[in-house]
Structure 1
């Protein structure tokens, strides 16, 4: 393992430093959250300029290996969890469980409310129609991960307000207890920044990046039975989509939605 800058090498100094730091993180078995030496210390230790250090760290940061927090320092980054929620009609509970992880929910709201215009449009019901609203702060391995607000028409699952959703999958309840089979859906992802209130919930700084996942699920009768908006921490999540190209299939235009 390279431990110093080889000044006779044709490889740029920043690339060599990057490889040295990767090797050190592996050999020292550093874990997410462990602190790395500061810029000044790296300059002195390896005899390189601050420009070299900054470029090496910038590449490591862009690759998700480290995270730099202003005023605090440089740390080994928490790995972003790949999620397949965009390409398949699964919930976060099933997605995390499939990877052997543990998810629990802090249920902040579970009650019947009249649908506002936006919810009514998503669920294809008239405004004021009774819907069950479920607001959950969801933890993966006891770390706040996503804030989800879900709406379900009351008649779809009338006893849902009496269920304990802290450790239970909503989709499993809908299908197993209320006989609602989800057959298709529509999901979209957009980038946003955390408001002060959302930042407090997710344990991030105000203005931190979040991924907003919006979804409408349709049942066997062809009517919407559930909609949600989920605010995922941008530093913990990434969405993966598998693509295929079919010969002769008509092209689908890129959809750009503006408010």
Structure 2
């Protein structure tokens, strides 16, 4: 894989839209009983057809998070007892203006010995990728998945690593700890990412746990502070 041409691994658009809506519910931007905009308006907002938008809404309906009332509209059902996947409440990077459809461009996936001590195994799958929000390069990420949790296969992953963990590895991320500071952009950052290698920018380290006592994932994220912001919400 060359530095100039990272590959693109994309979820189907209807799943991208449904995951954006899930994040909005988990973050409290969409609340119980709220009526969504008309479907044609939502389709236009996401640059898609009404048919694709309805497939996204059907995903939410199947999770018990949306009620579709004929002749009235679509209503959020996120009250007590509704299970929202925990990883969406841990999604912290947004455009400075808010929101932003998250996509990614894969740089590489390689099995390596860890560069510091965490988790159960001495080795991990290291994933490097460029993250985009609303089509704008926003961050570069380096994610390490403990070998005891499974192996990441480049040909199978998509924009949502947590979704890959669930469907391919049977791994659910249940909690995470973030450490936010500044750091220098790594020299492997691809062209197209705003800050140049060596420049200081926003930086997040994250340890993530499944159901066991040891972390299963460690990640480093360098984000362009002219494009994105780190958001913490209590809901």
Shift of 1:146: 0.6
Q: Counterpart of 1:228?
A: 219
Q: Aligned residues, how many?
A: 148
User: Is 1:89 the counterpart of 2:90 in the alignment?
Assistant: yes
Q: Secondary structure at the match of 1:161?
A: coil
Give the whole-Å Cα distance in 1 for the aligned partners of 2:234 and 2:99: 25
| CA offsets 1:66-99 (integer angstroms, 9 cap, x no match) | xxxxxxxxxxxxxxxxxxxxx943476xx78xx7
How does 1:171-250 map onto structure 2 within 5 Å?
Answer: 171-194=162-185, 198=189, 200=191, 202-205=193-196, 208-242=199-233
Aligned with residue 119 of structure 2, among 123, 126, 129: 123
Q: Counterpart of 1:72?
A: none
From the superposition, tell whether residues 192 and 215 of structure 1 become closer, same or farther in structure 2 (CA, over 3 Å): same
Structure 2 unaligned spans of 5+: 1-87
Q: Counterpart of 1:145?
A: 138
Q: Secondary structure at the match of 1:155?
A: helix
Query: Does the aligned pair in 2 maintain the 1:208–1:234 contact within 8 Å?
Result: no
Query: Does the aligned pair in 2 maintain the 1:91–1:171 contact within 8 Å?
Result: no
Structure having the higher helix fraction is 1
User: What TM-score comes out, normalization by structure 1 length?
Assistant: 0.48
Structure 1 unaligned spans of 5+: 1-86, 245-259
Q: Which has the higher contact order (CA 8 A, sep 6+)?
A: 2
Quote the RMSD (CA, aligned, Å).
Answer: 3.3
